[in-house]
Chain A
Amino acid sequence: MSADQLVDAYLDYLTKAAEPLPAERRTDLIADVTSHIAEARAAGATTESDVRQMLQQLGDPDDIVAAATDGLVLVERPKPQPRLGGREILTLILLPFGAYIFFVGWVVGVVLLWMSDRWTRNEKLLGTLVTPLGYASVQAFATVDGDVLQLPQAVTMLIAIVLLVAPLCTFVVLVSRGRPGRSAQ
């Protein structure tokens, strides 16, 4: 590595290590170290081995950042979570269609729904109650109506439409409202 490359690598490392610092401390620190290096080079550290030795005296960037951290409590920022994770997507599939997977699919969907942190309690109630068993309930209604109830056709149509649309509405509500941390609201 050339002298310039050594310096660039050092400053890159320092910049990365300094990321958790508050903005003002970070820019000050990087400016101070950058000008230290410029002064040292102007004062005669020209060859690659000079520069290497100068950087060694300057010290490990992690140590320098640790010194700048002194007296600060750094809060580690959690990784940003997607609005809906894989588990939530599975939940949204299992609620309307899970009943077709040996019935338990829907139950699993409900359990996942209540475990998730993406929805409030009311939204979870909505997901559970509209509609129980999801689209299987439409089929169940059709069977029961045809065999037992024999409702007028207009009423049958109305109920069928409601049963078809309701899970879709729930789906839309859950997708649009879902966000990390809502369960705590």
Chain B
Amino acid sequence: MVAEKVFTQLRRGTLEYCVLALLQGEERYGFDLVKALGEIDGMVTTEGTIYPLLARLRREGLVETSWRESESGPPRRYYRSTKEGSQALADFTADWERFRTSVDTILRRGIEGSQG
């Protein structure tokens, strides 16, 4: 339970890159994106908060959008990663791997310490 807060922060910090990752090489509309994130364990607790996040990515030029008709109802807003979005994702992925390795290394020492 202590970790709850930490994971809230981690989720908040990494969610936008997860969104960008889901948009590499394919377009998705909002609902589809939300559902795709929801299927991944522990990534999304409040689906609605993804929409403000998408709006921010759009303002920052990391994604672009276009409206498309759907067969079943109102038109959909499709999201697509821009070149800047893909670059931001690549940068983050490199940093994240380094960060994850560092945390893993230290956590492993903790485990070894408690056993020894």
Report which A residues bind B (CB closer than 8 A).
Answer: 25, 28-29, 32-33, 35-36, 38-40, 42-43, 57-61, 63-64, 67-68, 70-71
Contacts and interface: CB of A to CB of B under 8 A. Distances in A.
Contacts of B78: none
17 contacts: A29-B51, A29-B52, A32-B30, A32-B77, A33-B51, A36-B48, A36-B51, A59-B47, A59-B48, A59-B49, A63-B46, A64-B49, A67-B46, A67-B49, A68-B52, A68-B55, A71-B56
B36 to A, nearest CB: 13
Nearest to A68: B52
A38 B34 CA distance: 14
Nearest to B34: A36
Contacts of B52: 25, 29, 64, 67-68, 70
Interface residues of B, number: 21
A35 B49 contact: no
Q: Chain A interface mostly helix, strand, loop or mixed?
A: helix
Given A28-B55, A67-B53, A70-B56, A33 B48 contact: yes
A58 B29 CA distance: 16
Ordered nearest first, which 8 A-B pairs have the shortest CB separation? A59-B46, A68-B52, A39-B31, A64-B48, A67-B49, A32-B51, A67-B52, A58-B48
Nearest to A41: B73
Contacts of B47: 36, 57-59
A35 B74 contact: yes
Contacts, number: 67
B35 to A, nearest CB: 8
A10 to B, nearest CB: 10
A39 B51 contact: no
Interface in B70-107: 72-74, 76-77
B15 to A, nearest CB: 10
Given A32-B77, A36-B34, A39-B73, A59 B45 contact: yes
A59 B40 CA distance: 17
Contacts of A61: 48
Given A29-B51, A32-B30, 6 more contacts: A25-B52, A25-B55, A35-B77, A38-B74, A67-B46, A70-B52
A118 B78 CA distance: 53
